[in-house]
Amino acid sequence: MAQVCWQCGASSEPATASESPESRPLHDVHRLLTSNDVPLDSEIPFIHDIMSDRQKQVDALEAAIAQLAHKRDQIVENIRQRRAILSPIRRVPPELTSLAFWPYMQILETLRVSVSCSLELHHLIHHSLFFFFIGPSPSHLHDRNPTCPMCRCADAPLRVCWSPSDERTTADPGSVDLVLAHSSRWRTLRLDICSESDVPVSLDWLRPANGRLLALETFEVTRSYCHTDAETRSLSQIDIPDIFSTAPSLRNVFLTDWNFQVSTSVPAIPWAQITRYSGTLRLDSEIEMIEGLEAAVNLVSCAIGFPEWAIDRGRPTVLPRLRCLDLETPEFIHRLNTPLLEELIFQYWGGTAYGVEDILPFVQRSSCMLKTLVLRRCKIDLDLITVLHGLPSLTHLVIENNNLSSTPAQIALVDTLADGLCPNLASMAFRIELSDVDTRQFFAMARSRFQLEPPSARLAQLRLFGGWGFHVEPCPPHIVVEIQAMCDEGFDVSFVDSHEEETLKGKPTFR
């Protein structure tokens, strides 16, 4: 390739007079460049020659730039490789580096690593990310030794997951011995109970960990089923040994992720140190149950259910730090005093309506400033409107209407919201049935909330969801039209899918 000048692109080799267009006679080129005169026929070939020569110079410069860019990339990569040799990251063990990826590891929550096959063992050795998920596997170890990957993770915290299989309802002894040897650095223990037989699930393999769970922060139990018909479900009995009362770092206990009616039996829990709890209190007597709850003075968030026999109108139980409460049994609200409560979720599986009239006395007695109210399977009536009038501090409201048709009370709620009910609302979410006429009225209300003055009082977000009422078509066409119209006006309005719907309604809770 010919060498070119990096400034002008001209060839470094001297050109002869016959090769240079500018060396040929050209009549007053400057005149042609500075005027609109028509060039003579004899001048046109010379101009073409000049253009061709300049284009060759441009092509040569572009080729030179490409060469220089490629050479630059090579030098930069060479510098990066040398710099990596001196990087402090090289001194950080791989297991500690993997902690940086912890937020992304939540998608692997249900992973249960088996170390019985060579391929999985290979992954364990080369990916310290999986060390958090090593757990007692229901499969046999055969002749494979998982000690190497377990020891390689040094002192990194472990997330231990275990699930029984259809054939085995207890853990594999070889895996148990290995994992229990490192029980002092368990951070999370999760039991995925998915067996549907009536054979009790044995957790005796956990007993040797008693007194050694020094780093354990979270204990979880999840229930899953293959059958969709609730009447065919047979729940495995779970007997959790007393190993958590001596766990000094335990803060989070989740004993159910579906329904309080299938909550795991409550093990011995150090209530005074628990900050987040989800489950049903089913202890031997009402006195023990109340004493356990009263001891939980550090609870910040709690999703809880109570057996009916435990409900009474005795002295209130004070939870001084509680900020989020998900209550299955609304009647039990009379037993609670929560001065710092900000979020209240009602969910009632045994009937069709809430005792919403009990909310105001509870809020007044607790002297709390409720900001979020979530009503699941709620009956919209005049009592609900009265309650909302008494909660001016609400900033987030979720209503899952239990009625499958439009009612006068529902229309009255829409009218009241348009008139300034809950003036501080920043977001609303509804599951409601709307006729064509009611739809226009509802979205007129929403539009007025989005346009309130001053701007700080305006609604920022509106979400609609279908619940069980929209089986065939998730969002009716007449509602789709209204949502699109509001989006075109710049308002944040949407119809959410089932996953986001459960998030709006607080399920699963506090994860």
Look up the pTM and report it: 0.67
Percentage above 70 pLDDT, the chain: 60
Q: Give the pLDDT of residue 305.
A: 74
Closest of 45, 261, 437, 240 to residue 253, by C-alpha: 240
Helix (H, G, I), strand (E, B) or coil at 122: helix
Domain locations in the chain as residue ranges: 1-20+48-91, 95-250
Q: Give the pLDDT of residue 383.
A: 85
Q: Give the pLDDT of residue 272.
A: 92
Q: Give the pLDDT of residue 455.
A: 86
pLDDT digits over 198-219, tens only?
566 778 888 889 999 999 999 9
Percentage above 90 pLDDT, the chain: 22
**Tokens describing residue 458:** 């305006």
CA–CA separation, 43 and 40 (whole Å): 5
8 A C-beta contact, residue 221 and residue 254:
yes
CA–CA separation, 425 and 470 (whole Å): 27
* Cβ neighbours around 162 below 10 Å, total: 23
8 A C-beta contact, residue 341 and residue 317:
no
CA–CA separation, 192 and 173 (whole Å): 18
pLDDT digits over 31-89, tens only?
777 788 888 888 888 888 888 999 999 999 999 999 999 999 899 888 887 877 776 65
CA–CA separation, 379 and 410 (whole Å): 9
Q: Give the pLDDT of residue 153.
A: 57
Closest of 402, 406, 401 to residue 352, by C-alpha: 402
Upper half-sphere CA count for residue 354 (Cβ side, 13 Å): 31
Query: Residue 208: is it exposed, middle or buried by C-beta count within 10 angstroms (0-12/13-18/19+)?
Result: middle
8 A C-beta contact, residue 378 and residue 330:
no
The sign of the CA dihedral 40, 41, 46, 51 is positive
CA–CA separation, 306 and 303 (whole Å): 11
Q: Which residues of the chain have pLDDT under 70?
A: 1-28, 87-156, 164-175, 194-200, 223-237, 257-265, 281-289, 306-315, 348-354, 403-406, 432, 467-473, 498-511
CA–CA separation, 400 and 436 (whole Å): 20
Closest of 467, 479, 490 to residue 438, by C-alpha: 479
Q: Give the pLDDT of residue 282.
A: 59
Q: Give the pLDDT of residue 265.
A: 66
8 A C-beta contact, residue 298 and residue 321:
yes
pLDDT digits over 428-451, tens only?
998 867 777 788 889 999 999 999
How is 411-474 classified by DSSP, letter by letter?
A: HHHHHHHHTTSSTT--EEEEE----HHHHHHHHHHHHHHHT-SSGGGS--EEEE--GGG-SS-S
Q: Give the pLDDT of residue 43.
A: 81
Helix (H, G, I), strand (E, B) or coil at 223: strand
Q: Give the pLDDT of residue 365.
A: 87
* Number of residues written out for the chain: 511
8 A C-beta contact, residue 353 and residue 379:
yes
DSSP assignment letter at 479: H
- Classify residue 456 as left (phi > 0), alpha (psi -120 to 50) or beta: alpha
